[in-house]
Structure 1
Amino acid sequence: MSSTTSATNTGAREQVPLAAGPQPVEDWLGATVESQTRGEAILVAKAERRHLNAAGFVHGGVLFAIADCALARAAILPQAGATTWAHISFISPARLGEELVAVARATTEWGANALVDVTVRVGESVVAEFRGQARQLTQ
């Protein structure tokens, strides 16, 4: 999670440092951070053979993981956090070689919590809609 302060809903977005640099799960997924600003993040991953299910589509667990990584980068918490719950709706399939783009936006923040919406697309087509809550971990 980013170590910046709470996001605002004003028009201008402030560029923030990446959350602790590359994350191991993002490396495993082949996801890269296209942008990360206060309360927003965009991750991009190309669908690889290892991401596919038996039907030849990108596995739902991979789509969930990409969306969750985007949530983690968009949630602006003062300290490290974790996803406490999440829901995903699979809208359309993604296929081998397609570019998955996960756009995350923190919609509500209170105390040590952030509610984040993520849309995963291939081109103009929505593949999945994801909503989750991140909570700051106490030490």
Structure 2
Amino acid sequence: MTPQALAEACAEAMWADDHASAGLGMRIARVAPGEAELTMTIEQRMVNGHGIAHGGFIFALADSAFAFACNSFNRRAVAQSNTITYLRPARLHDRLTARAVQTQSAGRSGITDVTVLDQEGRVVAVFRGLSRTIEGHLVEVTP
């Protein structure tokens, strides 16, 4: 199995049980080894009292892209720590794209950077996730 095919199989396996991401209307736009791109449109239920997207929904999108990127190697990985910086507001009906790239990996730890963009290509937020692999695999691979 090629690394690309493995990344796609891992994403498919994860997506089958990811009710949180699907429930928020996220879609997988692209996955590759150590990378993932997810999209989500800001709905009325995601807007806060300031009339802008609640930061928790933006965080959730970035966190999901992070998860698909760091699990793309068929080694189960979970979040160890995450940070996010919001640079501009997202608004009702904005289509956000979270692009995740694993930038470092050593032993069981990894660092994945995620950029969240609006439909105009403007950076809404920057997220950094630290992952830790745990026991198990997402898909069975036969040699």
TM-score range, shorter chain: 0.7 to 0.9
Aligned pair 1:131/2:128, yes or no?
yes
The one of 89, 95, 98 equivalent to 2:91 is: 95
Q: Is the 8 A contact 2:82 2:127 kept in 1?
A: yes
Q: Is the 8 A contact 1:19 1:73 kept in 2?
A: no
User: Where in structure 2 are the equivalents of 1:10-29 lying within 5 Å?
Assistant: 14-15=4-5, 16-17=7-8, 18-22=11-15, 23-29=18-24
Q: Which residue of 1 aligns with 2:140?
A: none
Deviation at 1:137, TM superposition (A): 2.0
Distance 2:14 2:79 in 1: 19
User: What is the letter of the counterpart of residue 44 of structure 1?
Assistant: T
Aligned Cα root-mean-square deviation (Å): 2.0
Aligned pair 1:105/2:101, yes or no?
yes
User: What is the letter of the counterpart of residue 109 of structure 1?
Assistant: S
Distance 2:103 2:47 in 1: 31
Q: Is the 8 A contact 1:77 1:112 kept in 2?
A: no
| SS of aligned partner of 1:14 | helix
| SS of aligned partner of 1:20 | helix
The one of 66, 78, 83 equivalent to 2:79 is: 83
Distance 2:12 2:35 in 1: 12
Identity %: 33
The one-character-per-residue Cα deviations of 1:29-63 (angstroms, maximum 9, x if unpaired) are 11000000001110000110111111111111111
User: What is the letter of the counterpart of residue 126 of structure 1?
Assistant: V
Q: Which residue of 2 aligns with 1:10?
A: none
The one of 23, 38, 41 equivalent to 2:33 is: 38
Aligned length in residues: 129
Q: Which residue of 2 aligns with 1:66?
A: 61
Q: Normalized against structure 2, the TM-score is what?
A: 0.82
Q: Which residue of 2 aligns with 1:49?
A: 44
Unaligned runs of 5+ in 2: 137-143
The one-character-per-residue Cα deviations of 1:7-37 (angstroms, maximum 9, x if unpaired) are xxxxxx8352215242111112110000000
User: What is the letter of the counterpart of residue 76 of structure 2?
Assistant: A
Distance 2:22 2:130 in 1: 23
